[in-house]
Each structure stands twice: as structure tokens, then as C-alpha cells.
Amino acid sequence: MDTAALWGAVIGIGVYHGLNPGMGWPLAVSSALMERRRSALFRALAALAAGHFASMVLVLVPFSALAALVRWEREIRLGAALIVIGMGLFLLIDRRHPRMLSRVPPSRLALWSFLAALAHGAGLMLVPLYLGIGRIGAAEGGHGAAASLLAGNTGVALLVAGLHTAAMILAGGAMATAVYLWLGLRVLSRSWLNLDLVWALSLIAVGALGLLGAWHG
Amino acid sequence: MNLRPDPTFYPSARLAMEGPVETLAFALMLSPDGSRPDGLAVVDVDPASDSYGQIVHSLFMPNTGDEFHHFGWNACSSALSPLTGHAFLERRYLIIPGIRSSRIYIIDVKDPRKAKIHKIIEPEELFARTGYSRPHTIHCGPEGIYVSTLGGGGKDGTDGPPGIFIMDCETFEILGRYEMDRGAQDKHYDFWWNLPRDYMVSSEWGLPPQFENGVVPEDLLSNRYGHAIHFWDLRARRNIQTIDLGANHQMALEIRPAHDPAKQYGFCGVVVDTETLQGAIFTWWRNDDGTFEAKKTVTIDPVPADADDLPDLLKGFGAVPPLVTDIDLSLDDRYLYVACWGLGEMHQYDVSDPMAPRLTGKVEIGGIVARTPHPNGKAFGYGPQMVEISRDGKRVYWTNSLYSTWDDQFYPGEGGAAMVMARVGDGGGLTLDRDFWVEFPEGYRSHQIRLEGGDCSTDSFCYPSA
């Protein structure tokens, strides 16, 4: 895949996360309805975005440090891909809802969003894409000093997380706004699809692509 | 697991009211002397059907002496909570606890006319995992199914306080106790909550020795039954406030919060005021600072009676107490139904203003002294007791037994099981339907009713109705 395709995939996965009710858009609808004002919808979306972004960063940044070890680049990419596939397989087998999420009070949306993304491996879904982007970047920029490479990598990781989160919250926000303003709550239960299986398979697919990329890279 | 949420899950109470009308009801049957197994009756409530008002399927348990009382679903509209995301559960299993045996049955009603036992949780497992006994109210909430209990450990259930435990909503495995900090709570009965606001309210009946062999008059007259309601931080599992309704307000039973979670109030029924013999409804509410208050908003007076017409227990009082044993709130939060089991009356209050309920309808049937027959001419034993309202608020169903040993004290002699239905007028008012009368098997009594697809005391809604 070329760089543009990888960035496109980062955005595409953002849209996919955003539309998935499990990543929180119904919480924004609920906040606006409970407080009886539209501004609550945007405050909730901001909190959800902050939590999601933090979760992406937490997962991507360690990989950006690893990616500085250029010598082991292929092994790192293979390992990362296997972790992502492993998470997908785990979610495929363990189809139960993570219980820790039900202990988070409804007032702490950012924390909820952070934990929901973490528990569902949302950040992991980006890892193979991020490593792909980083590799192309490194090849183009030549072999600089390890320190600047690390800084550059972290910058790319933040950019990936930021772009992904922006796409995620725009898609989720559009859905929440549409349900709140026009479609009504009935759509909420009708449009809520069980994505558990699709989600787990997505992780496996992204991991497999990463595996393939590392192999041929 | 479904691909779409169960169609009987509704985001708001208003949407639930607009859902399809119930065609089946489930009613519990208990053998008062434990000589025969308790059972579940599936009742046809579809007026277009040939078997309208008849039991179309009965399921009897493999044990005796369970004493069925309350029951609930494995999943309800709370599955649509944006926080818990269990949207793909099926409303498929009824969870029926035996409050005398502490045994819990999980009944598969996917095909209601072929309802069958899915799993039995033996009392020993409940004791070992929770230290609680005598399971009672069922609600589906965060982390699984919540079950309140009336007893603690030990043979008579007084070894430690009763409380709530949580069951897995898919495997029905008992996960453990709910409470992290129970504060002053030492008795238990009902509970319910406001899920988005994250609080729970619980109530108190009495400890097992105070009810299992009948009401203990000395305990009642010395105000030793429950008279407090407790407020909890739901997810932190802590008791944050206890309100004592006053020691004379004996037996604070059913908790009915407004169904619309944007409203932060609810009701609690009190069986008897030992100073006045009145029955009472308290309205409780949450202030902006998170504290709670409660105020008595309805009193129902006793009716003077000749001692010769009264059971031994009441002879000294020369009056019939109303005995408010069950209350239920319609999904639009407009009408509160109050069963006066002693008087033999079902009251309907308009609670649009929850601080000033207005009596808008009344049905007289049964009663300790009145003994009013059904309009079809048949005798109605005991008085109106467990009440359930259809989702659209147009039909109100009720049965007549309170609790085996208490039935016998207040209504000596066998009264039989009954299940009747009343229709709600457009602007209020309540009229018994003379054609709806369910015949139960001889020797059984009837207790709580559940309606197919959810009703007004099972489902918790996570989004406002407005």
C-alpha cells in the first residue's frame, strides 16, 4: 500500500469507529436529552473524542519508540501484526462485554471512552497502518540519527491518532446529531447492529495486512 | 446473541407505550401449604383469541415449598444503555426465585406456550456465593442481573444483613454481593434505580422470622418492621443516604421511580401506619445537590368494622386497615395504582404532580369485610394485590394473594387464586372487565404477573421520554 492509501485507511477506520454505537455516540444523544440542551451533545462528543484520542496515543506511542530500532523493523512489524491478530482472535472467542466498563459512572465520559477503546483494541487496529506509514517516511527521509527518528515517529503517531480521532468524532457526531435533531430515539435501537463479530474480524484483517506488508517489505 | 437489539427493548418509556399490545401474560402460582410444586401460568390476554383469559400453558417445578413471589426478565430495555452496550441480549428467560426455599429457576420462554426450565440454581450455591437467602426482586442493570434478598445467612436468615447480589445475564452464574458499603441498611425488600443518573433506591420489609410464619403482631405494634428507604450510588455500590419514614410507617415496600430518567422522583408504598392504621404513599425526590428527601403524599383511611367480621389479628382494632401491599406506575408516569389488600380496593391516582396525587379511579373487589364479588358474580378471595399495567397504560391486571402465611392470618380459610383486569378510561377512571377472569388450578394461589415484552415494573429506560 502507498502512503495515501494508508492515511485513507486511518480515516476510514476512524469513520467506522465513530459510527459504531459501542464507541459512544449514543452517550452524546443521551446527554443532550437528559440536560435538554443541544450544547450538552457537543460537550459529550468532546469528552468522547478526548478519551478516544488518549487511548490511541497510549497504544501507538510505544510502537513509535520501537520503530526507532530500524534494524529490527521487520520483526517489529511482524510482532505488531501478530498482536493485532491475537486481539481479534481473543474478541472472537470471548464475546462478553468487558465488565470494568460498567463500573464507570455516566458522568465520566472521557474515561469511559478511553477504556472502551482500550478494551476493544481500537488503538491496535491502527498499529499496522501506522507502522506502514512510518516505514515509508523513514525510507524517504533516509537514515537519520536515532533521536530525530524517534521524535519524527512520535509526531507521526500523534498525527495518526489525531486524524483518526477527528474522523471518528465527526462520523459519531453526525450520527448523534442526526438522531437527536431529526431521526429520534427509535432509530437508535433500529440502527444498532451487533458489530462484535465484524469488529473482531476487522482486527484480524488489519493484522493480516500488516503481516503481509512486513513479509514483502 | 442477536444481530439487532431485541424488538421489545425500547430507548424510552414513551416508545415502549407505542409498542405492540401484549397478547400473553405470565402469572406465578404457589401451593400455599407446599404440598404441590409451584408453577408458572401462561395466560392468553389477546381478546381476539379463542382462549382469551385462559391458561394456555402451565409449567410446574420439580420441587415443592419454593413459595414463588416476584420474578423478572434476564434482559429488558436497560440493555440499550449507551454505557453498558449489552444491546444484543434476548428477552427470553424469566428468573423466578423461591422466597421460602431460596432456589432460583431460569425459565426459557422463547416459545411461551412451551416454556421450559433452562437452569436451576440450588439454594446452597446462593448461600455459598453471597451469604444471602430468600431472593426476591429482579432487575437488569450494569454488570448483570440484580436480585434483592430478604434474608442473610443461617437457618433463619438472620446471620448478617440481607442485600443484593448480581448474576451474569448470559450464564446465570451468581457473581457475588453488590454492596461495598451498606451503611444503615439491615433489612431489605424492593429496589429500583435511575440508570443515567446512577442512583438506586431500596426498601425494607422485615427479617425472615418476622414474615415466614406469618406477621408477628408484637413486632408490628412495637414498630420493628422496616420503615426506611435507602439511596445508593449505583455504580460505586455505596449507600449514600438513608431516610427514616418514621417508625410508625411499618413496611416500606414497593419502590416505583418515574420511568422517564429525566425525572428524579418516585414513590414508595407503606403497608400500615401503626398509629392510625392508615396506608400511605411517600413521594421521594432528588435535589440538585444530590441529596434526597421524602414526604407523605397519600394517606388511605381504615374502615371501621364489627369485631365479629374481623380475623383474630384485627379484632382488637375494630377497623380494617387498607394494607397498601403493592403499587405500580404507568409508563407515562401519570397514574399510580395502589392495591389496598385489606380493604379490597384498587385505587388509581393521577400523579402528574407527584407531590399532590389525586384519586381518579377506584375498583372495589374482595376485602376482609367488604368481600365484594367480581362483576361476573364470582367470589374474589383476599384483596387486590400484585398489580401490573400494560405498556400502553390502558389495562391493569392484578392477582389476590399476598404471602401464604399472611393470607391465612388476614383472610382465614382458603380464598383461591384470581387474576382480573380493569380498563382505564381516557381521562382516568378504572372499570373491571367482566369478561376477563382466569381460572387457576384448584388449591393454588396467584402472585406476580409479568406481561409479554415487558411491563411497567420490569423495564428500566436509559433515555428520556421527551
Shortest alpha-carbon distance between residue A78 and chain B (Å): 33
pLDDT band at A96 (very low <50, low <70, confident <90, very high): confident
Nearest by CB: B85 against A34, A97, A188 = A97
Kind of pairing, strands B319-320 and B303-304? antiparallel
- Residue A97 contacts B, CB cutoff 8 Å: yes
- A contact residues 100-159, partner B, Cβ 8 Å cutoff: 101-107, 112
pLDDT the model gives residue A147: 61
Expressed as residue numbers, the domain containing A184 is 3-216
- Residue A38 contacts B, CB cutoff 8 Å: no
Widest pairwise Cα distance in chain A:
57
pLDDT the model gives residue B122: 97
pLDDT tens per residue, range B114-161: 999 999 999 999 999 999 999 999 999 878 999 999 999 999 999 999
- Residue B60 contacts A, CB cutoff 8 Å: no
Q: Please, what is the average pLDDT of chain B?
A: 95
Task: Inspect the interface and report whether the beta carbons of A21 and B235 lie closer than 8 Å.
Answer: no
Which residue in B1, B8, B259, B463 has the most chain A C-beta atoms within 10 A of its own C-beta, making it the best mutation to test that interface? B463
Amino acid of residue B206: G
- Residue A93 contacts B, CB cutoff 8 Å: no
State the Cα–Cα distance between residues B137 and B96, nearest whole angstrom: 9
State the Cα–Cα distance between residues B54 and B42, nearest whole angstrom: 8
pLDDT the model gives residue B421: 98
pLDDT the model gives residue A150: 66
Task: Evaluate whether B458 touches B16 at the Cβ level (below 8 Å).
Answer: no
Helices then strands, counting H and E runs in chain B, come out as 6, 30
Task: Inspect the interface and report whether the beta carbons of B15 and A185 lie closer than 8 Å.
Answer: yes
Shortest alpha-carbon distance between residue B264 and chain A (Å): 11
- Chain A: residue nearest B197 by CA? A106
pLDDT the model gives residue A194: 80
Count structural domains, chain A: 1
Burial of B351 by CB count in 10 Å (0-12 exposed, 13-18 middle, 19+ buried)? buried
What fold characterizes domain B13-63+70-83+216-451? Answer: Methylamine Dehydrogenase; Chain H (2.130.10)
pTM for this prediction: 0.94
Task: Inspect the interface and report whether the beta carbons of A34 and B1 lie closer than 8 Å.
Answer: no
pLDDT the model gives residue A95: 72
For the record, the C-alpha cell of A151 comes out as 521524535
pLDDT band at A143 (very low <50, low <70, confident <90, very high): low
pLDDT the model gives residue A216: 77
Judged against a pLDDT cut of 70, whether residue B411 lies above it is answered with: yes
Task: Inspect the interface and report whether the beta carbons of B12 and A185 lie closer than 8 Å.
Answer: yes
Judged against a pLDDT cut of 60, whether residue A144 lies above it is answered with: no
pLDDT tens per residue, range B164-191: 999 998 899 999 999 999 999 999 999 9
pLDDT the model gives residue A140: 56
Which residue in A192, A196, A198 has the most chain B C-beta atoms within 10 A of its own C-beta, making it the best mutation to test that interface? A192
For the record, the C-alpha cell of A53 comes out as 484520542
